[in-house]
Amino acid sequence: MAKNDGESPTFHCPVEATLDVIGGKWKVVILFWLKDRTLRFGELRRKIPDVSERMLTQQLRELEQHGIVRREVYPEVPLKVEYSLTDYGRTLRPITDLMCEWGKRHMRRSARREQVR
């Protein structure tokens, strides 16, 4: 992927364009947890315990900028903020479903290999 001095990035293949939006260690994990539900920041943080608060905030902001995640702020004390997938974000569901199925198979394969040792 090449950047054009402040313009939109130039992609050399569609996978680059996809990874530009959902690439990184935590974005697809966030999409997984939001696939069927709306969650508050603290709930997401508990579901993804290895992500720092700062990184989770950054990843959510980037997903929001791409139109994948909706951030809803309720004027309450304490402030209530909920995250959910947009209609556009839900179009990524087939990708996350396939990744989930592949991950299950990989985890079973890894467990079998570990038993052999």
Instruction: Tell me the C-alpha distance between 109 and 47, whole Å.
Output: 24
- Give this prediction's pTM: 0.85
For every one of its 117 residues, what pLDDT tens digit does the chain have, with 9 covering 90 and above? 555 556 778 889 999 999 999 998 999 999 999 999 999 999 999 999 999 999 999 999 999 999 999 999 998 888 899 999 999 999 999 999 999 999 999 999 988 887 877
The pair of structure tokens assigned to 44 is 């997401």
Domain boundaries, the chain: 14-116
One of 3.30.70.260, 3.40.50.720, 1.10.10.10, 3.40.50.620 is the CATH number of 14-116, namely: 1.10.10.10
Kindly state the tokens that stand for 21: 């939006």
In the numeric block, which tokens belong to residue 94? 């087939």
Tokens linked to 43: 């709930």
Closest CA to 61 of 98, 101, 30, 18: 30
Task: Return the ∠ at Cα 108 (arms to 106 and 114), rounded to 5°.
Answer: 100
